[in-house]
Amino acid sequence: MPIAPLWVLRYTELMTMKLVVVTVFTTFLLLALAYPRNARTQEAVAATAGYCAVLMVFLQFGTH
């Protein structure tokens, strides 16, 4: 799951669609960490923020 948005971002041209991809995968990760696991709220948010930061860096370097 963490690799999938990198491939999607690589082949998506529109910036709006790239932001939608980042939002959807970040939300999915937060839900995946928060509900089925015994992670505390701050742990789930911290992991999601780090993941989102990586996606944003990839998004920034992926622009032409």
Q: DSSP character for 11?
A: T
Residue 42 identity: Q
pLDDT of 63: 58
Sign for the pseudo-dihedral over CA of 23, 25, 31, 37? negative
Q: Is it the case that residue 46 has pLDDT exceeding 60?
A: yes
Containing domain of residue 52, as a range? 4-61
Number of separate domains in the chain: 1
Mean pLDDT calculated for residue range 5-29: 90
* 8 A C-beta contact, residue 10 and residue 31: no
Section 37-60 average pLDDT:
86
Confirm if 9 and 62 have CB atoms less than 8 A apart: yes
On the 0-12 / 13-18 / 19+ scale of CB atoms within 10 A, 32 is middle
